Chain A
Amino acid sequence: MKSIQSTGQSAINSIAAFGRAGLFLIQVILHRPKSISGALNLLIKQIYSVGVLSLVIIIVSGLFIGMVLGLQGYTILAKFGSEQAVGQLLALTLLRELGPVVTALLFAGRACSALTAEIGLMKATEQLSSLEMMGVDPYRRIIAPRFIAGLICLPILCIIFSAVGILGGEFVAVSWLQIHGGSFWSLMQQSVYFSTDVMNGVIKAFCFAIATTWIAVFQGYECEPTSEGIGKATTRTVVLGSLSILALDFILTAAMIGDF
């Protein structure tokens, strides 16, 4: 009986938290900056810490994943005598699925956990309180720039990931496995449509960005202002963020393939 009660309790708590998160998001969107140049400065700083600092992990991961895809793809396609289609396989897999999803997962782990920890630490050291007491809106100054930076950076990172992956795959396929460069590219170009494949990937990345960055800043803002609390909040960001990426991916893919 007690376990049923506690399950019900945690369900109610989750829904309440979701509601608070929704209100939080509305607050973040509504709090427009006072001056454009000031806001831009804050935004640039955040784009640096969220985007530029993630470049290394994204590029390295993209390169390796692209190369592995090229290798594995070749091995399987060779059984059908269709090695030349490896370019097609590589591009479509990266652009439609792996690009957005892997980039978002890496982003959730690296950038979003940092966001949560940063905001949580500001809360714990009373920096957020002192901002409020100084008559400065923490939503405008701290939360909103980080949120917008996330929305901007993840799609860019996703595009870079896909491009680097394809380069890596091309290196493996053409230079190493001796696939004909001409057919590698022409097959790929024939089967990849910019408006659907590339843009869908970017749209997915944008949706993932909204979900993960929202979770990250909310967890940071709501966390218990102790070192333990920050740790828990960071973990929650990564776990919830990753799960929502995967769930959203399924929903978006189903919607994009359509006809259901």
Chain B
Amino acid sequence: MSKNFVDIQNMSFYRGDRAIYKDISLQIPKGKITAVMGPSGTGKTTLLRLIGGQLMPDEGKIFLDQQNVPDLSRTELYEARKKIGMLFQSGALFTDISVFDNVAFPLREHTDFSESIIRDIVIMKLQSVGLRGAAKLMPTELSGGMARRAALARAIALDPQLVMFDEPFAGQDPISMGVVMELILRLNQSVGMTSVLVSHDVEESLSIADYAYILSGGGVVAQGTPDEIRHSSDERVKQFLGGLPDGPVPFHFEANDYKLDMDMGGQGK
């Protein structure tokens, strides 16, 4: 139990009638980088929100550092969230304040540190993501990659025990992707930060993860070390890893018989 920072047990989550997750169980081990992958639309971001308590599961338990998240009161939940840092897909920096103030934000909110201590911490965090020179800029003046790095600095400002990355590689050029991968590795190696990354970029995720899950259809279809995943014989895993256009996830959206459709159009002939 104690070697997993997050322990999800038999969790189900419905949106309306649709089951996003059905009786799913997965563990995020402490101090390791875990990748959660799967095709688009499987609700990977939803999983992060469930862990963070923004959404409530319909069934099951979600243990965050041994506390069951759905059971927590609002105040306890806000306390628990201080242990997590989350990096959103778009960065989600506060657009009305500078990069420096963005990174200082969690420090000013949750600690009583003096301004000079806060300044030191912010400079340190910005240095670790390589943006120390950009401290005075406004978020609108940053490129997408820089914004994401600044958001990462903000996410780690309080030295959280768990950092969650929502699609960190999506739409990035190879250099930015390399930077992000480097940062994730460094954070994990230097302070033993537990990291969860949710992504559909297979190669990048598998190259830095210690453990990986592949989700589809509301459940886990494969889990293991990157090597185990690569050598899996499951058809769905093979399609996902190989980027095959057709397989268990079909190419064609459900439709009538092709011939019937064409004939109905060509009645004049």
Q: Do chains A and B touch in the complex (CB under 8 A)?
A: yes
Tell me if B81 and A132 are in contact (CB < 8 A).
Answer: yes
Q: Secondary structure of the A side of the interface? A: loop
Q: A126-B88, A129-B49, A135-B82 are in contact. List 6 more A-B contacts (CB 8 A).
A: A125-B90, A126-B90, A133-B54, A134-B82, A134-B105, A136-B106
Tell me if A132 and B54 are in contact (CB < 8 A).
Answer: yes
Among A129, A135, A136, A137, the residue within 8 A (CB) of B92 is: A129
**A130 interfacial contact with B, CB 8 Å:** yes
Tell me if B90 and A137 are in contact (CB < 8 A).
Answer: no
**B79 interfacial contact with A, CB 8 Å:** yes
B interface with A by C-beta (< 8 Å): 49, 52, 54, 78-82, 84, 86, 88-90, 92-95, 105-106, 109-110, 151
**A127 interfacial contact with B, CB 8 Å:** yes
Q: What are the residues of chain A within 8 A of B106 when measuring CB–CB? A: 134-136
Q: What are the residues of chain A within 8 A of B54 when measuring CB–CB? A: 129, 132-133
Q: What are the residues of chain B within 8 A of A135 when measuring CB–CB? A: 78-82, 106, 109-110
Q: What are the residues of chain B within 8 A of A136 when measuring CB–CB? A: 78, 105-106, 109
Tell me if B95 and A127 are in contact (CB < 8 A).
Answer: yes
Interface string of A197-240 (1 = CB under 8 A from B): 00000000000000000000000000000000000000000000
Q: What are the residues of chain B within 8 A of A137 when measuring CB–CB? A: 78
Q: Tell me the total A-B contact number using a CB cutoff of 8 A.
A: 46
Closest residue to B93 on the A side, CB-wise? Answer: A127
- Give the contacts of A108-145 with B (CB-CB under 8 A): 125-127, 129-130, 132-137
Q: Give the interface size class of chain A.
A: 10 to 19
Interface CB pairs A-B, < 8 A, 29: A125-B90, A125-B92, A125-B95, A126-B90, A127-B93, A127-B94, A129-B54, A129-B88, A132-B52, A132-B54, A132-B81, A133-B52, A133-B54, A133-B81, A133-B84, A134-B105, A134-B106, A134-B109, A135-B78, A135-B79, A135-B80, A135-B82, A135-B106, A135-B109, A135-B110, A136-B78, A136-B105, A136-B106, A136-B109
Q: What are the residues of chain A within 8 A of B94 when measuring CB–CB? A: 127
Query: Complex formed: what's the CA distance from A126 to B105 in Å?
Result: 16
Q: What are the residues of chain A within 8 A of B105 when measuring CB–CB? A: 134, 136
Q: What are the residues of chain A within 8 A of B86 when measuring CB–CB? A: 130, 133-134
Tell me if A127 and B109 are in contact (CB < 8 A).
Answer: no
Query: Complex formed: what's the CA distance from A132 to B81 in Å?
Result: 8
Nearest-Cβ distance from residue B89 to partner chain A, whole angstroms: 8
Query: Complex formed: what's the CA distance from A132 to B86 in Å?
Result: 10
Q: What are the residues of chain B within 8 A of A129 when measuring CB–CB? A: 49, 54, 88, 92
Nearest-Cβ distance from residue A132 to partner chain B, whole angstroms: 6
Nearest-Cβ distance from residue A77 to partner chain B, whole angstroms: 51
Nearest-Cβ distance from residue B42 to partner chain A, whole angstroms: 19
Tell me if B92 and A130 are in contact (CB < 8 A).
Answer: yes
Among A125, A126, A134, the residue within 8 A (CB) of B81 is: A134
Closest residue to B89 on the A side, CB-wise? Answer: A126
Query: Complex formed: what's the CA distance from A126 to B79 in Å?
Result: 20
Tell me if A127 and B81 are in contact (CB < 8 A).
Answer: no
Query: Counting chain A CB atoms within 10 Å of each CB, which of B49, B92, B105, B110 scores highest?
Result: B92
Query: Complex formed: what's the CA distance from A17 to B49 in Å?
Result: 24
Query: Complex formed: what's the CA distance from A126 to B49 in Å?
Result: 12
Nearest-Cβ distance from residue A23 to partner chain B, whole angstroms: 14
Tell me if B92 and A127 are in contact (CB < 8 A).
Answer: yes
Tell me if B92 and A126 are in contact (CB < 8 A).
Answer: yes
Query: Complex formed: what's the CA distance from A162 to B95 in Å?
Result: 36
Query: Complex formed: what's the CA distance from A136 to B93 in Å?
Result: 14
Query: Counting chain B CB atoms within 10 Å of each CB, which of A125, A126, A132, A133 scores highest?
Result: A133
Query: Complex formed: what's the CA distance from A131 to B135 in Å?
Result: 20
Query: Complex formed: what's the CA distance from A135 to B86 in Å?
Result: 11
Closest residue to B151 on the A side, CB-wise? Answer: A130
Query: Complex formed: what's the CA distance from A129 to B27 in Å?
Result: 24
Q: What are the residues of chain A within 8 A of B92 when measuring CB–CB? A: 125-127, 129-130
Q: What are the residues of chain A within 8 A of B84 when measuring CB–CB? A: 133
Query: Complex formed: what's the CA distance from A132 to B94 in Å?
Result: 13
